[in-house]
Structure 1
């Protein structure tokens, strides 16, 4: 892939771990493989991710973040209104998140969407009904939504940000209207939506299996000036096991593959001949394909390990044997370096690309 000349630099503001691949460790190397220069600011500096029993390290304070931002701006390394891309992810508390939001506002000042800042905001709040961060982060994220070009929440984060439980198709429509019309987000990607009974009934067969518990849904929605948003979706096969950093990797790949409408050319492996495609659906299709390849490679590697390192998740057994969970986590760390060919598409891919193409959801509205 060749990146567009006006936005080949990305500022990444998210977590860092010494061991493993979550946050920036899952995002930066893939973006570099795609041809971007990536400037990295860590919101936390931890030994490893929280799924391990023990974790050491520190959180970057708001004052430290502001000091870094101010020095970069003073040196002309961050100039509001100029062409760049911004990626923000896990930030542990509201005070630090507000500091990140202030920077995003400064960078947004004077920026035209087609030529200036392209901002992907991953509102990392939690998953499966559980918050990972302080509850007061919710209101801060809501205040940051209008600054974003693209957001990549999972289904739980959509529910949290919009106060809309996703229990029906009308509720999903309401949540998208809230994000587009109330918070003025141009592009929304919702990840990891469970294929519950109401969604299976509403989903057209062309978008993938609708009766399998082994799939989740990914949905994109791009706002239109006067019409309802353009919605694309795809039922994505799941892979057994718990893998961390997947959302961080996916969000980075969406940003890295996103091309504004004015610069959308047939230089990606996802052809511009796609019927009714949008720049967002093309980027998300590429990100889904690559992410699934990485998870598959990681899973295949874990299956070669001794049985003690690939045991299924079992909270009771993990509590009795601290080493059991640690061994399993180590075996399922994403194979980011080993899978680098997936980021540069250095392989035959025509069949895989077509299988991962997100399709328009006719009749969604």
Structure 2
């Protein structure tokens, strides 16, 4: 029995390739702690290393190139440290680096054919791309067919499929096109299909029993940074823990997100004089302070399921 327990723990090991900041919580800084709290070992490769997120308007740092990524993976491979249950990718800023990720997926699946690849295809939001346009065909034609789970926002899903989403039926058609490319689970982490009070997230899976689900997410009166990275890491964890129960995973992910954002906003307001705007520093995600909510989320919002 102890051996079986040890094996189960060993197989919850994530290689996460995304951005890193020295101060604050985006990219790997946003994903690592929640995954660790939920019982996952996480090895992080930082696609960029910045002093802080770019929303501050000023930052300094370095960008990892494709050769450096390959070197890191080769080092892991040489020492037989490349057995992972999951690969998680987020922000990647160059086409050459993203092309190298294709090779990383192939290498890791040679070691573990059952590797689950969770991809957040970071392309842009609100009608604007904030990565080079050359990344789009690589995501669309090479990355998405290799991914088990993807978490695009509405704009990214539209870019990846060439379809506009104006209603839920459009979203379902868009999601089915992504399934047709080979991706088993598609979650639109946010869409414009809700209301002034709620966002609408949509999720679809063709693993086992086909399922399509929607969930209404209460809006907060502020924008936060790092939420997409947090969402993808939580979904990865709960899909593994629940053995791909999409409904439960979605509900627990959203419950955690709501708790973290509520705590973050409360802290920001407590640090801000009345009538003043909350600073970006005071809206950094309060992840450490949300450890209990990450470990044991209490869903209050139920996902609506349609088969």
The alignment's TM-score, normalised by the length of structure 1, stands at: 0.78
What pairs with 1:115-154 in structure 2 (closer than 5 Å)?
116-142=114-140, 143-154=142-153
Q: How many matched pairs?
A: 301
Partner of 1:273: none
The equivalent residue for 1:290 is 256
Q: Give 1:30 deviation, angstroms.
A: 0.8
| Match for residue 330 of structure 1 among 281, 296, 300 | 281
Report if the CA contact (8 A) 1:302-1:310 is conserved.
Answer: no
Offset at residue 340 of structure 1 (A): 1.2
Post-superposition shift, 1:310? 4.9
Q: Tell me the distance in 2 between the aligned counterparts of 1:233 and 1:23.
A: 26
Distance across 1 between alignment mates of 2:255 and 2:11 = 23
Q: Which residue of 2 aligns with 1:356?
A: 301
> Structure 2 CA distance, aligned partners of 1:91 and 1:310?
35
User: CA shift at 1:149, angstroms?
Assistant: 1.1
In structure 1, the residue matched to 2:230 is 249
Contact kept? 1:310, 1:331, Cα under 8 Å? no
| Structure 1: gaps of 5 or more residues | 197-211, 265-277, 312-326
8 A contact 2:85–2:112 mirrored in 1 = no
User: How big is the shift at 1:343?
Assistant: 1.5
**1:162 lines up with 2:161 in the alignment:** yes
Tell me if the contact between 2:30 and 2:230 (Cα under 8 Å) persists in the aligned partners: yes
Q: Which residue does 1:236 correspond to in 2? A: 217
Deviation for aligned residue 1:281: 2.3
TM-score of the pair, normalised by structure 2: 0.92
Residue 172 of structure 2 is matched in structure 1 by 173
Q: Classify 1:188/1:141 alpha carbon distance in 2 versus 1 (closer, same or farther; 3 Å).
A: same
Structure 2: runs of 5 or more not aligned: none
Distance 1:344 1:165, change over 3 A: same
| CA–CA distance in structure 1, aligned partners of residues 233 and 186 of structure 2 | 14
Q: 2: distance between equivalents of 1:309 and 1:105?
A: 53
Corresponding residue for residue 267 of structure 1: none
Deviation of the 1:280 alpha carbon? 2.1
Q: Does 1:84 align with 2:67?
A: no
RMSD: 2.2
